[in-house]
């Protein structure tokens, strides 16, 4: 579970998002970040084997403001990513820690050009199978509908009247589950995470099979 001093720091940072304030409270940041790093290590150890993870990462709190209208210098959250063992296992998990807005995200945030094309070809060829996978009862019960950025029309090279057009427009293939503040500080948080990963793993494994085979279903790894 998460250490109790993380949220107080993030709440104060949200109200005082300046370099001057942060410099004066850098020690508080370091303490909070160390707690998040500790949590990420605990979760990695407990989730690693069943979910074929190879690494985890706690993102830096500094924002890249070069191309953003929002010029506040710091994020008001901590983020942890968990990556699966490529190339056999694909997709990843992301834990977002923010007072009142924490969530667990799973899937494919930014598939590269080749991966996106391969996924779309699979949807085009077998849209019924893809639809059945993302609409499994257990998956919907735990995660709700698949989310992600979408095109307004069919992607280049695909027909607008394709039976799978609903999913062909997706540029991302992700599932999001909100987390109550109390859950993060609950002693059973690790077991809760284990259960969530279990319910989403069939989708990740299915997508991995797609990305590890050619259009004829032959392995490319």
Where are the chain's structural domains? Answer: 6-211
The confidence score (pLDDT) of residue 65 equals 84
The confidence score (pLDDT) of residue 216 equals 87
Q: Phi/psi of residue 69, each to 5°?
A: -70, -25
Mark the ranges of the chain whose per-residue pLDDT is less than 70.
Answer: none
- Strand 92-97: give its sheet, edge to edge: 53-58, 78-84, 92-97, 102-108, 173-179
Burial class (CB in 10 A: 0-12, 13-18, 19+), 69: exposed
CA-to-CA separations, 5 to 10, 128, 159, 162, 208, in angstroms, rounded = 9, 48, 53, 52, 38
Q: Is 109 left (phi over 0), alpha (psi -120 to 50) or beta?
A: alpha
**Cα maximum dimension of the chain:** 60
| CB contact at 8 A, 78 and 36 | yes
- Give the CATH architecture of domain 6-211: 2-Layer Sandwich (3.30)
| CB contact at 8 A, 80 and 43 | yes
């Amino acid at each position: 579970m998460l250490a109790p001093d993380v949220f107080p720091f993030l709440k104060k940072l949200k109200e005082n998002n300046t370099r001057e304030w942060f410099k004066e409270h850098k020690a508080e940041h370091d303490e909070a970040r160390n707690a998040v790093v500790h949590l990420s290590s605990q979760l990695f150890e407990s989730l690693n084997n069943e979910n074929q993870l190879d690494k985890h990462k706690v993102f830096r709190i500094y924002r890249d403001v070069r191309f953003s209208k929002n010029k506040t210098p710091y994020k008001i959250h901590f983020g942890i990513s968990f990556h699966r063992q490529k190339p056999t296992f694909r997709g990843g998990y992301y834990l977002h820690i923010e007072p009142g807005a924490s969530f667990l995200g799973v899937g494919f945030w930014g598939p590269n050009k080749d991966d996106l094309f391969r996924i779309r070809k699979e949807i085009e060829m077998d849209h019924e199978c893809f639809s059945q996978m993302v609409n499994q009862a257990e998956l919907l019960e735990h995660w709700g509908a698949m989310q992600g950025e979408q095109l307004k029309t069919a992607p280049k090279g695909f027909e607008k009247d394709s039976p799978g057009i609903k999913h062909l427009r997706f540029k991302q293939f992700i599932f999001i589950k909100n987390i109550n503040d109390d859950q993060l500080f609950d002693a059973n948080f690790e077991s809760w995470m284990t259960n969530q990963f279990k319910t989403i793993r069939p989708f990740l494994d299915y997508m991995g099979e797609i990305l590890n085979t050619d259009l004829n279903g032959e392995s490319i790894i």
